[in-house]
Structure 1
Amino acid sequence: MWTNVGITHFDMRLGCFVTILLFQLLKVNSTQPTAPPTPLSSAEAEEERLILESIAWPETPPLPAPFSLNQTSDPAHSTFIILPGGVGDERHVGDQLEVMIKMYDFQGNPKKSGGDAIVARLHNRALEAGVAGRVVDHLNGSYSAVFPLLWEGSAQVEVTLVHSSEAITVLRRLNREHPDRTILKSLFRSGSISETTICNICLRQTNQPQCNYTDLRTGDPWFCYKPKELSCDTRMNHINGGMDIKLKLMRRTFSKGEGLFPPSNVNMQVFIQASGPANVTVLPQRKEQPMDSLGSGKSGLSGYYYQGVWRPLGGTKVHQFNNSSAISQCLKGKVVHMYGDSTVRQWFEYLDASLPDAKEINRNNPKKSGPFMIWDNAKNILVKFHLHGPLLSVSIHIPTSELRYIANEIDDVVGGTNTVVIFGIWAHLTPFPMQFYIRRLYGIRRAVIRLLNRAPDTLVVIRTPNLRGTNPYIFAFNDWYAIQQDKVVRAVFKGLNVQLVDAWEMVLAHHLPHYIHPPPPIIRNMVNIILSHMCPQ
């Protein structure tokens, strides 16, 4: 199906979101029925407004011209200090530790405004212990980080500047004005004729007609420029076509000498040093202190590591499924549906490797896309993984028949006591305005509610985003975008009978480097959380 859209002018600074509304309203010269709009209810519209307000980043200063790196936040000049504790400055398990962070620029001048992206953790490498900190921006160049003290012995503070406020000025503008900065394409073919065109959630208006592939069930938008010689019905696949040339030029510009994103990473994902001691000694819990003071209610955190094992601060106790026998026994008689990106696929791969008696049904499918399925006939175990639908920035051709939206897949699940639905969607959607992400999650939430209404005993598990660290495509995929996505996921699914795997805290609290695909020790802990929800024992 396609629509030759009659918009005579389009400014990307208006945002793709406005464009989609125009597409839905105009629908000019459509050769086939187009998907109906999926308008928000008044409650959803108000919720969206509140979510956007809750994740609103502090205003960052406009970049002066000419621009100089000297005027930006410098982790080497910046410092943190551990604030004094209680009586005699003693620290006990169950207390809180507070750190004050002061930001300075490259000339050693104190910053006067906030907006830097900073993360913090408390850890003890010998004990394989770690917990995330809560960072508060005081909007004047200073920040606080607060940690619960959860183990005895040494606890060392680690503070990281993820992005300077000046860099965020650029990233914010990019998401608003250039949501099409990743190039996504489709191949069209009929007989000996083939042609590749650009596709996206929205496309810049040209004289070239557009094919409208908006999903008929969810209303999720997707468009491709129409091939010159072929119809829209001849679309064969989807692939990532790289970065927009303007984005490459921008990266080169900002990476030179006095730029915001220097290749040496002097101001991105860099530790901030302490101006005094960076560690404290934690004494045993006070006798008069109640045990429940260590729970998540006080700290707002979901858990922490101790001896390499994730310990929740509330909710379901996490058991250790340390061998194939324990894992297969838990999965016996269950059907597990996994949907999402490669960070969810990691869980499928872990289970696949842990079930030697299970048969891989489609082992020859492309590793990056699947779909995949494993089946253990003796124990009646079925585990499936399917990649989520567009947007997808993957470097392999995905047939259009495999481009499926999570909401539609969930609607096709019968559900029940022995059914588990697991999903996570975030990594491919970071280059786009947050409204798109919220509305994609709204569609999934509606499907989850329908599933739980028809089969209340179905277990639904949601993976949150996580820190992804440095990468070559920082202008499109970075931790500042992921920080906001993490908050949105929690807000959208709050109050539903679903379980979250807090990937954000589990990556931040661990001693291993941040990476979009967490390493095996973290994946093992994540899967143990899922299995503990399936088999609380």
Structure 2
Amino acid sequence: MLSIRSIMSRGRNDAIITVRAQRETGPDHGRQKEVTMCRNLSNFALIFFFLALSGFIFLLRNIQTVENWKCHTVSAIYQLQSRIQSSFIPVNLPTFYNNRTFCAHLGQKPSAEDELEERYLLDSIAWPGPPPRSTPPTLRQTSDPVHSLFAILPTKEGREWHVGDQLEVLVQMHDFQGRPKHYGGDFILARLHTPELGASVAGKVLDHRNGFYSALFPLLWVGSAQVEVTLVHSSEAVVVLRRLREERPDRVFFKSLFRQGFLSETTVCNMCLPPDQQPLCNYTDLYTGEPWYCYKPKMLSCDTRINHAKGGYLKHLITNREALLFQSGVNIKVHIHASGADRINVLPPRKVDVESSSVKPDAIKLAPSGYYYEDSWRALAGVTMRQFNESSAITQCLRNKVINMYGDSTVRQWFEYLIALVPELKEFNLHSPKNVGPFMAVDSTHNILLKYRCHGPPIRFSTVTASELRYVSNELDGLAGGSDTIVVLSIWAHFSTFPVEVYIRRLRHIRRAVLRLLDRAPGTTVVIRSANLQALDQEVSLFNSDWFSLQLDEVLRAMFKGLNVQLVDAWQMSSAHHLPHALHPPPVIVKNMIDVLLSHVCPEKKKSQET
């Protein structure tokens, strides 16, 4: 058989011969011209037939290959197609309307009792703001940490402090023009620390709503102690964050791949999508009523959904003037300086009678959950701390236990810490995607099973198989529970872009599942990890600001208060420590968190009294 190149070469030579013949013989030889043209046409027809036949054979081979693929195998062609779609096909993002927080009201209608609780929780986290203005403030009119200052207030006895006293610091905020501010709403952190002792404690900040703030600290150790006050966000910046939370729940968007045979499409997904723009696929959970939607593919059905993934972050959400409120090193996490001394010397406890030494109710309300000393966390209430410095101690504590971890990457960090520290815990290969899970580790010698699974959407992981998307409350309902079962929950970081009502609804479902678990198996240990502080710049602030996390954290504590669950106070543990804030705290902080967890699982045994 002639090759395509030889056929094309032959056709080209015939054409040249024909042109030469025309030039030599002139127009009188029309019949020879017709014969030559027919021969050329037949040659080209042969070429086209050969190409069409080759393409048909190629298509048949690929169709046969596609039919032989198993469901769990993703071909390189599909991966390439998915990448091309994600990179080059414009994503039709939903259009959200200002002042319409319909996202919060999707899902099952709450009962009257639930609505009452929701109003109480929203009122409890209400944040003071600037007075109404006819025009937005300029940067010069907003809080400036450089012009602001704080002062250490003396005690009733003068400038003498003892262990057991309370230190009060007064903060006064000024704007960039140096003028005192006369309203509140600034987000301020405070801590007291002694680097030489590895000692530190987070302060309680009270907003007096007139430009003044009080930071209160319990004095817990002897020696020199330094006050540190930090402006996280100005009150004007908080106004922008609050508006974004209510009006732009789409600022982090998600996507799903739909596939059937050799056809695939990718569409935008979210907890709330405007129903009047495109047909929707409804993936609302049948048991909890938690809503989730994707735009329906144009060619495929809703039941061909393959996976879930983070789509991306929207840009240009704020004006140029508003962007000035979020400047690293200017008004995001900048220290406020003292007007005088920023240190005190703490003396040993005073000798007082029992009656006068009784703890005041206000002091209990303002007391932190713990503090660091020699870089070790010391809890002030709820648990007697134990140090699990050796892997053998952890193994002994977890012997014959099943540890179920559910949530985001901050609890996955605990899973990774334990399997790295305890050599007997061998991770079982479930062929799960890296950083996504589910994961499982086993110590067969000591009968320990450690598991991790991410919570259901919204989850901003790279790609999660749709069949692996599980809601925590449903997973809890599948546990038998008992004294050999430990449940660890961490659900907060992925809810910062949604109205608080969405988070309240999710926690309500989890709380009910926890209560059902404790009813059928009272010996089950349930531990909840709170939110923690993280590094902020302008971009991170608009999506994951510590202000969002603080509000969610307060809701979490309120909703589980009084229940037989234990709290690992990651907020204060990250706020008090001297290391920089990070979404995934450094190992020294994680080690202390694990110590708190294990202190709840394996409490210190009380020594029998000698008779």
TM-score for the superposition, normalised by structure 1: 0.91
Contact kept? 2:103, 2:249, Cα under 8 Å: no
Q: Report how far residue 466 of structure 1 moved.
A: 1.1
Structure 1 residues 102-111 or 349-358, which shifts more?
A: 349-358
Please point out which of 487, 491, 494 is paired with 1:425.
Answer: 491
**1:359: Cα distance to partner?**
1.8
What's the CA shift for 1:476? 1.3
Unaligned runs of 5+ in 2: 1-94, 605-611
Structure 1 distance, partners of 2:168, 2:459, is 41
Mapped pair 1:261 → 2:326 = yes
CA shift in 2, pair 1:12/1:448, >3 Å = farther
Higher relative contact order (CA 8 A, sep 6+): 1
**2:202 corresponds to 1:129:** no
Answer yes or no: is the 8 Å Cα contact 2:189–2:232 preserved in 1.
yes
1:487 aligns with 2:554: yes
> Residues 207, 470 of structure 1: CA spacing in aligned structure 2 closer, same or farther, 3 A cutoff?
closer
Tell me the residue number matched to 1:338: 405
Report which of the two structures shows the higher radius of gyration computed on alpha carbons: 2
2:104, 2:502 within 8 Å by CA — same for their partners in 1? no
TM-score (norm 2): 0.80
1:201 maps to which residue?
271
**Alpha-carbon distance, 1:289 to partner:** 6.3
* Contact 1:60–1:168 (8 Å) recurs in 2: no
Pairwise CA RMSD: 1.9
- Native 8 Å contact 1:150 1:294 kept in 2: no
Q: Distance in 2 between matches of 1:123 and 1:463?
A: 24
Q: Which one has a larger percent helix, Structure 1 or Structure 2?
A: 2
Unaligned ranges ≥5, structure 1: 1-8, 25-36
Q: Which moved further from structure 2: 67-76 or 297-306?
A: 297-306
**C-alpha spacing 1:370/1:220, structure 2 compared with 1 (3 Å):** same
Q: 1:216 to 1:332 in 2, by over 3 A?
A: same
Trace 1:228-377 onto structure 2 (pairs within 5 A).
228-247=298-317, 250=318, 254-255=322-323, 259-262=324-327, 264-288=328-352, 293=359, 297=364, 299-362=366-429, 364-377=431-444
Asked if 2 retains the 8 angstrom alpha-carbon contact of 1:506 and 1:522, the reply is yes
State the percentage of identical aligned residues. Answer: 56
Amino acid at match of 2:344: V
**Distance of 1:342 and 1:18 partners within structure 2:** 24
Letter matched to residue 16 of structure 1: F
Q: Helix, strand or coil: the match of 1:338?
A: strand
**CA-CA distance at 1:13 after TM superposition:** 2.0
SS in structure 2 at match of 1:348: helix
Deviation at 1:297, TM superposition (A): 2.5
Task: Indicate if the aligned counterparts of 1:10 and 1:205 stay in contact, CA closer than 8 A.
Answer: no
Give the aligned partner of residue 516 of structure 2. Answer: 450
What pairs up with 1:490-505 in 2 under 5 angstroms?
490-505=557-572
Deviation at 1:301, TM superposition (A): 1.4
Instruction: Determine if the alignment matches structure 1 residue 116 to structure 2 residue 186.
Output: yes
Note closer, same or farther for the CA distance 1:246–1:88 as it changes in structure 2 (3 Å cut).
closer
- Count of residues paired in the alignment: 506
Match of 2:89 in 1: none
How far did 1:506 drift? 0.5
Q: Deviations over 1:334-384 (max 9, x none)?
A: 000000001111111111112212221126522321111100111000010
Alpha-carbon distance in structure 1 between the residues aligned to 2:304 and 2:401: 39
1:273 alignment partner AA: H
Q: Deviations over 1:148-190 (max 9, x none)?
A: 0000001111111010001011111111111111121111111
**1:393 match:** 460
What is the deviation of 1:299? Answer: 3.7
Q: Does 1:149 align with 2:214?
A: no
Corresponding residue to 1:159 among 224, 229, 241: 229
Within 2, Cα distance between the matches of 1:292 and 1:518? 37
Secondary structure of 1:423 counterpart: strand
* Distance in 2 (alpha carbons) for counterparts of 1:63 and 1:371: 50
Q: 1:285 to 1:18 in 2, by over 3 A?
A: closer
- Aligned-partner Cα distance in 1 for 2:487–2:319: 40
Give, as a single letter, the amino acid of the residue that structure 1 aligns with 2:404: H
In structure 2, what is the Cα distance between the partners aligned to 1:221 and 1:489?
A: 20
Q: Deviations over 1:282-318 (max 9, x none)?
A: 0001122668759983643110000111101112101
1:499-518 matches, within 5 Å, as: 499-518=566-585
Q: What is the aligned partner in structure 1 of residue 124 from structure 2? A: 54
Q: Is the Cα–Cα contact under 8 Å of residues 442 and 450 in structure 2 kept in the other structure?
A: yes
- Are 2:248 and 1:178 aligned? yes
